[in-house]
Amino acid sequence: MTEDAKKKIQVALALAIVVAGLRTGYILYQRHEDYVAAQMRVAAKNAGYANQEYYVTPKELYPFDLNSAKQLEQQPVWVKEGYRYTFYPYDASRKKANFEYEAGLLLPIEKLEIQDVVTDAAGGKRQVMAVFQKDGKSCAVPIGFETDGQYKIYSDEMFYVEDPHDLYKFWPSDVWQAIAQHEVKPGMDELQADFSVGMGVPDAGASSADKTVHYPNGGKPLVVEYSGGKATEVKTGT
């Protein structure tokens, strides 16, 4: 065997060891995060929290590169914050999004079937894009970016990978009815309001329980007053 062949084999073995190490590290990281989540649930239970939402720990995928982000293709996803994320028309044949045209915003707890996860050049970066169908058309939404081979992927912040109707099945039926009708009613908490009308922007300096939150609501703005963590007044915004 030539010295050149030996070197190539050594390089291949070294790369295989690095890849195996990364995969092992990723698996251990996932197990650690699952363990921490379980411990948090136990701590919340021991603390005697009355609000069942404290016991809910949505599953996360912890994607760290393009290949691991493709886990999004394996199950439906649901949008965590509606009216926050812009999506674009996507040409599947060219694997290219049209970033010059905003096709719309993802809706509150909208269910998506991710068909592909790709990279696409935009704004001087390689964007990581999740591809899906909407109204019979291919669309793509940015879920991260890549720079010099390093990925930053925030899909766990964007999507539930479990049906939120199951995660929060203990919510009363009238709350789910209001969510389905995209309404916020007195007595609902902030998470339930997010499910109804998407992301909200609290006034500066507001406390976690008592605050005023402004919801763009897809062009139909609302202002919701919260006291003790519950909506007390809902009015039309400007």
User: pLDDT value at position 125?
Assistant: 84
pLDDT at 2: 65
State how far Cα 50 lies from the chain centre: 26
pLDDT at 71: 97
Cβ partners under 8 Å of residue 194, min gap 6? 80, 81, 82, 108, 200
What is the rounded distance in angstroms from the CA atom of residue 33 to the CA atom of residue 111? 25
| 102-156 confidence digits (pLDDT tens) | 999 999 999 999 999 999 998 778 999 999 999 999 999 999 999 988 999 999 9
Residue 45 and residue 208: Cα distance in Å, rounded? Answer: 21
Structure pTM? Answer: 0.78
The domain 168-236 having CATH identifier 3.30.160: the answer here is no
Q: Which segments of the chain have a pLDDT < 50? A: 8, 11-12, 14, 16, 18-20, 22, 26-29, 32-33, 36-38, 40-48
- For the chain, give every domain's residue range: 3-55, 66-160, 168-236
